[in-house]
Amino acid sequence: MTNEAGRRRWNNAAEVAGWAKREPFTNRVVPFVIEAANPQPGDRVLDIGPGGGNLTFAFAERIGAQGHATGLDISTGMTAWATERARSGGVGNVTFLTGDAQVLACPGAPFDLVVSQFGVMFFDDRLAAFTNLRRHLRPGGRLAFACWQEGARNTWHPGRILARFAPPAPALAPGVSPTGPFALGDAADTSEMLAAAGFERIVCARHTLIERVDEEAVRDRDFVPSMRLPPDREAEAEAAIEAHFARFRQPNGLSRFELNFQVFTANNPG
């Protein structure tokens, strides 16, 4: 089965419950994806990895009652959460489905727009995944997604701290893509992959947000346990992460992070 590790991670109840704390940050990226996608009233939109659905709901508002937005997420917990939000908010023009966007033929195709906000960095065969996503677009339809820039430009992320404690990751088997927050960070490499997947008019716009937020907006409390470190190193790793996040704290209790992300747009040939 594809994306087995991702399926486990994103179906973990703690990951689902913790995601609401991240939305104060991801909400700030929504306008950048909307502007890049330029949705029109009546559009049919597919949102990949919608999580709690903040981007899907923003598109639903822009496309109006004649349009429809579908969120496709590998996590049943995220799908249930977003579906409940749609129900309680009385949003009628959205549907949330569970499935792996790398391989699923999602009902509702062809779409005018395929969009995502940090939901497309977890494919173990990214060329197959983006080829599958392109096939969901009508001729001339548009892809627009936000992902992180390179890890070196996102020093708030504790991954490099933890690398000191974890054994080196085994080499990837031929044809298996790296996954994780920075997997699409190399803009030239990602553009090349999108071209190989059949997209044209590929553009990458790089953005920086200076955020003053509660550190929970970027801190994953499950990070150390999820790394499966040798048990005798876990306490030391937690202390190193605590020291790492202390560097960003300000006297008012909030933390200041420089968040570097990028928004790709590309077209399915018309």
Ligand X SMILES: C[S@@+](CC[C@H](N)C(=O)[O-])C[C@H]1O[C@@H](n2cnc3c(N)ncnc32)[C@H](O)[C@@H]1O
- Which residues lie near ligand X (CB under 6 A)? 3, 6, 10, 23, 26, 48-51, 54-55, 72-75, 78, 100-102, 117-119, 122-123
Residue 18 structure tokens: 């913790």
Q: How far is the CB of 142 from ligand X (least distance, A)?
A: 18
Nearest residue to ligand X, by Cβ distance, number only: 49
**CB-wise, 3 or 93, nearer to ligand X?**
3
User: Tokens 């992070």 label which residue?
Assistant: 257
Q: How far is the CB of 48 from ligand X (least distance, A)?
A: 6
**CB-wise, 117 or 268, nearer to ligand X?**
117
Contact 44, 66 (CB under 8 A): no
Q: How far is the CB of 112 from ligand X (least distance, A)?
A: 19
Helices (H) and strands (E) in the chain, counts: 10, 7
Q: How far is the CB of 210 from ligand X (least distance, A)?
A: 19
Q: How far apart are CA 17 and CA 128, in angstroms?
A: 30
Residue 119 structure tokens: 């939901």
Q: How far is the CB of 148 from ligand X (least distance, A)?
A: 10
**CB-wise, 27 or 191, nearer to ligand X?**
27
**CB-wise, 125 or 234, nearer to ligand X?**
125
E strands present in 92-195? 94-98, 111-117, 137-148
**CB-wise, 225 or 234, nearer to ligand X?**
225
Q: How far is the CB of 15 from ligand X (least distance, A)?
A: 8
Q: How far apart are CA 88 and CA 127, in angstroms?
A: 37
Q: Is residue 17 classed as helix, strand or coil in its secondary structure?
A: helix
Distances (CA, A) of 266 to 69, 191, 198: 19, 9, 10
**CB-wise, 172 or 235, nearer to ligand X?**
172
